[in-house]
Every structure is written in C-alpha cells, then in structure tokens.
Structure 1
C-alpha cells in the first residue's frame, strides 16, 4: 500500500513509519522542516514538503494514497484545534472513497473516572474531555462515512527513551535531585509501548473496514508513584509527594491530570485485530530498558 503519514518525524510517528516500511508498504511523510525531511528520509519514507497548514499539499498527498494516518500530535499547542480541523478536512476530502483513515487520539478525551475502566462506549464530550481538540478531531473523522475510519485512543505511550512525562521526570530528578508526584500517587495510568502501538496501527491501516473507536493500552495500569520511584532509582534521586494545592501552584491544571485515573479497556483492539501487546512494562523500561540506556 501507499500510505501517507503526518507526524512521521515525531516520537510515535517515527516508530510507526519503521513498522509500515518493514511490512512492505510505501510511505510518504509530511515534513515541515529540513530536519524533519532528513529524519523521514533516514526512516526510508519519501518526504512531502509542507505543514499541517498547507491544506493543498495534504489534499494532494491523500488523493494519491491508499491510506492516511494522522499521527501528528501536539498536546501543548493551544492553537492546535484551529490548525487540525482544516488539515483534517483536506486529508479526508482528498482520500479516495473506501480507503482507510486512522486518527491518533488519546485516552485523555475520557473524563477522570477515578479508577473505573472505560470502553469505547463511555460518554465523552468537549466539556469533559481533558484534550477537547482531540474530541473534536474524532467527531470530524468519524463523520466521514465514505471512508474506512478508525480513531485510536492511546494510553500514555512509552519506550525508546521517549514520552514527555517520563522525560520531564528524569530531567527533574537529574537537575534537582528529587522527582515529584501528587498526593499519594496511587492513581494508575494506562500505558502502551510505542512499538506495540505501532503494531496495532499497522494492523488497522490494512483493514478494509474501519474500526470506529479503539482503545490502545496494556491491561495493567501503572501507578504514578511507581513511575516516580522507578525514575528516582534510575537517577539516584528521591521520590517526593506534593500536596495537590502546592502542585497546582507549580504545575497548574496539569496537577489534576497527574491525580487522574481512567483505565482503558483494550478488548475491542484485541478482538478486531488480534492485538497482543508484548513490550516490556513501563517500569522495566525505566529501570532496565531504553531510559536506563539513555
């Protein structure tokens, strides 16, 4: 298949590009800079010059593709909604009827359920989503009934030394000698190894029928405190609890996210695609894997 990817020069997109090329697909990848162009070329993909704002480029790339994967994600960009919606319109309108379109969402569209597991049928809304622009992106993609659309709601992605939260924890530990968590840190987060997630996408993109919404996470959650203590062990730092009010002063609304717990039920992905995550756990990755090596 000829597959067009956005975000191929990024953390998850790079791993996905490797998996797709290894499976024999031809990959074209959006590249908004010389650095991104060099990165996707190294991966074996053909760079397509442009950014998510270049809707004409997106439309044309989708039109010559057998499938599109939108893997470009920037949760910290407050303007992302205004950028992503026109980009999605261009990609969805360019892709020929019946072809697969895979949208990268996040488990953060779910509200905090305080530890109650959620399936894809859980009620979500723009008001309760912790990433509202991804909720809106999901709606736009799923409305394209002429395509085989799939929305993947992933847990915290880890592995290969990446992911923002763990990198911040490790950086804090090395610079300050402490790594912090909020409250008792007993709340668990759903996680998924970057290579396991890429393997799921590789299965999704070749399926003739869309999967609708699919959760992507291992069945075992990981407590935030356990992550912090693993980082402390790795770096020789101390794991320290912060009261919520103090954490709010330091981290703002992010502090609330660090106390949340919304376990993702991956049964649908397992059933539809035979998906069986096999990567090392996030704790093993920190203590003995890619983070230790880095």
Structure 2
C-alpha cells in the first residue's frame, strides 16, 4: 500500500511540473499513442511527428498537433517550437537480421532528433530505450542499471538501440537534461505489438512454448510506462537510465496464457527445446551473414534473446529516485483487456 501511496504522491508532483509543451516522435505507434492520451488528459499541449496522412489523422484524433515529417530530412527544430520537453519514442523494432534502414532510424534518427532538441531549446528529453540493449542470448536475472552493455549484442536491434541510448545521453548537459527509460515487454490496452504477434503465431499453428515456457520475465503495462515517463520528466536525473516494469516478474507461460485468454484464445501445449532453438538461431544468423543476406532463417538470435530466456529487471532505482510504483496491477490490466475484447465482439 505504501508503494501505491508514494506513486500517487509522485504523480501529483509530476503533474505540477510546469510543462509548456511536449514533442513526441513515434506518436502514432503503440507507445506513442498512449503517451499522447496520457499527457493530453492532463491538459498538456502535445505535438507529434507524423510521417504520413494516416499518422497525422491518428495523432490529431488523440488530441495532439501533428507535425508532418520524419526523423531525417525534416526541420525538426520548427516542429519543437513552443515545447520544452521531448519524448523520443520512434524506433525500428524489427528483430530480424537487421537492415541499413534500422541503423538509420535508430542511430542516425536519434542523433538528428537530439541535435534538433538542443537547437530548439528543449529542457528535458526522454529516450524510450529498452532492456534489449543488454541482450546477448543469455539470461538476465534481476539486473539493474549498473549491468554493462554486452560486447557482442544479440543482434541489430540490440546493437542499434544501445547506440541510440549512448547518443542520446551524450547530449545531456546543463541546458538539456536527458534521461533514458528501459521498459520490458510492454503490454495492455490498444496493443498493436506483442499481443498481435502471439495471436498470429497461435492462429497460424506456429506457436510453441520454449522449454515449456517455464522461465521468468518482467512485464510493463502501458499505463505503468506512461506513469514512469511522466515521473522521469519531473524527477529523473540527467544522464541516468531507469528500468520500468510491473510489480513482480511472472512465469512467461502463465502470463502469455492469461494475455491470450483475454482475447478468447487458448494456447496449445506444443513445446520445443531451448537448446535446439538456440542452435537454429545461431546457425541462421551465420548463414545470413556468409550468404550476403540471401539466406534468412526462421529465427534470429535477436528474437531468441528477447523471448526465450529469463529476463527480469530490478526497478529499485526508479522506485528510489523517481518515486515510481506501478499504477496498474497485472490482474487489473488483464481484466481491462478482456472487457475491451468482449465489447468489441458485441
């Protein structure tokens, strides 16, 4: 109860922080849409970068002002006028073998955004990073922010997001404080990422538990992520990184089963050995490299590293320094999704 009271007090103080306006990249994506809803509901003006007419309509319908353009080749300084906070949520999250496009978006795009933010006079900047910057294919158990980045990242996504994080934090100075937050397994209402992928695998007959799914994972409900970002704006220390997550880790099999049950889908019992998948992923990445990209394996080490081993995060630093505590329990989040699914089916 104390944690939830502390979270309520922290949220109140965060809301009182005098934000003139927020500029968000990736506003039409899953995280971006919910960030727009979160801050618009608090009466804070939001401008969101939009790459297409469809994206413009999405952010406008959510109450934000769309700014047409992309991360590269657009005068972002003009879009940030009147804003004193940046939230950089745009990223190429593909877990495949990696492309030049992913490198441009995640690395060059981040550099362009933070360079523009400094020129525009942004005072506080939040980077949406990921625990995947630590992924190398081995379990990560109760890791905290002191855990070093691996010398050999699992794949292109981990490598490019780590580079993006280093780049963003290099812009931290007295004129613009930069904070990075690392959520893990973002889920909840309006999910257009993890849940659709799981449902698609089940419906196509390709889903199988990895060694029975008997390993722990940290999860982060979208409401908890938005709350954590708000606290990072208000209380985060410039140059620091914070893990965000739900209260406690959960067994992957239990959570995935409950998540898909909210959509009325039952998960099959099929299981494959972890060692076999690790072999397939490693061999596939090697063949992709030596074939010059002509061979693409059904599983990459990047995908394996983020979904097949235990990954649990210690969110103690966010609790201590931000006053963070989850505002949405796992049970309440699942109930919310089940109710929304029933309403959709009527």
Which TM class, normalised by the smaller chain length? 0.7 to 0.9
Match of 1:124 in 2: 149
Report the Cα offset of residue 189 of structure 1.
1.5
Q: What is the rounded CA distance, in whole Å, between the counterparts of 2:235 and 2:79 in structure 1?
A: 20
The structure-2 alpha-carbon separation of the partners of 1:93 and 1:218, relative to structure 1 and needing over 3 Å to count, comes to: same
Q: What is the rounded CA distance, in whole Å, between the counterparts of 2:39 and 2:260 in structure 1?
A: 36
Match of 1:12 in 2: 31
Listed as ranges, the matches of 1:110-121 within 5 Å are: 110-111=134-135, 114-121=139-146
Q: What is the rounded CA distance, in whole Å, between the counterparts of 1:99 and 1:137 in structure 2?
A: 19
Match of 2:327 in 1: 278
For normalisation by structure 1, the TM-score amounts to 0.88
Match of 2:16 in 1: none
Listed as ranges, the matches of 1:33-48 within 5 Å are: 33-48=52-67
Report the Cα offset of residue 18 of structure 1.
1.1
Give the alignment partner of residue 252 of structure 1, picking from 300, 309, 329.
300
Give the alignment partner of residue 100 of structure 1, picking from 107, 110, 124.
124
Q: If each structure's strand is expressed as a fraction of its own residues, which one has the higher value? A: 1
Larger radius of gyration: 2
Q: What is the rounded CA distance, in whole Å, between the counterparts of 2:172 and 2:71 in structure 1?
A: 23
SS at match of 2:213: coil
Q: Pairwise CA RMSD of aligned residues?
A: 2.5
1:136 maps to 2:163 = yes
Q: What is the rounded CA distance, in whole Å, between the counterparts of 1:60 and 1:45 in structure 2?
A: 16
Give the alignment partner of residue 195 of structure 2, picking from 166, 169, 175.
166
1:236 maps to 2:266 = yes
The structure-2 alpha-carbon separation of the partners of 1:138 and 1:256, relative to structure 1 and needing over 3 Å to count, comes to: closer
Q: What is the rounded CA distance, in whole Å, between the counterparts of 2:151 and 2:22 in structure 1?
A: 30
What per-residue deviation string (whole Å, max 9, x for no partner) do you get for residues 33-82 of structure 1? 1110001001111000001223x422332354201110112211632222
For structure 1, the 5+ residue unaligned runs are: none
Give the alignment partner of residue 185 of structure 2, picking from 156, 162, 182.
156
For structure 2, the 5+ residue unaligned runs are: 1-19, 281-296, 342-346
Contact 2:60–2:66 under 8 Å retained in 1: yes
Listed as ranges, the matches of 1:41-80 within 5 Å are: 41-54=60-73, 56-62=74-80, 64-76=82-94, 78=99, 79-80=101-102
Q: What is the rounded CA distance, in whole Å, between the counterparts of 1:51 and 1:125 in structure 2?
A: 30
Contact 1:181–1:228 under 8 Å retained in 2: no
Give the alignment partner of residue 218 of structure 1, picking from 229, 239, 246.
246
What per-residue deviation string (whole Å, max 9, x for no partner) do you get for residues 67-108 of structure 1? 111011221163222233333333222324571111011011
Contact 1:16–1:202 under 8 Å retained in 2: no
Contact 1:59–1:90 under 8 Å retained in 2: no
Number of aligned residues: 290
For normalisation by structure 2, the TM-score amounts to 0.75
The structure-2 alpha-carbon separation of the partners of 1:291 and 1:161, relative to structure 1 and needing over 3 Å to count, comes to: farther
SS at match of 1:238: coil
The structure-2 alpha-carbon separation of the partners of 1:272 and 1:196, relative to structure 1 and needing over 3 Å to count, comes to: same
Match of 1:26 in 2: 45
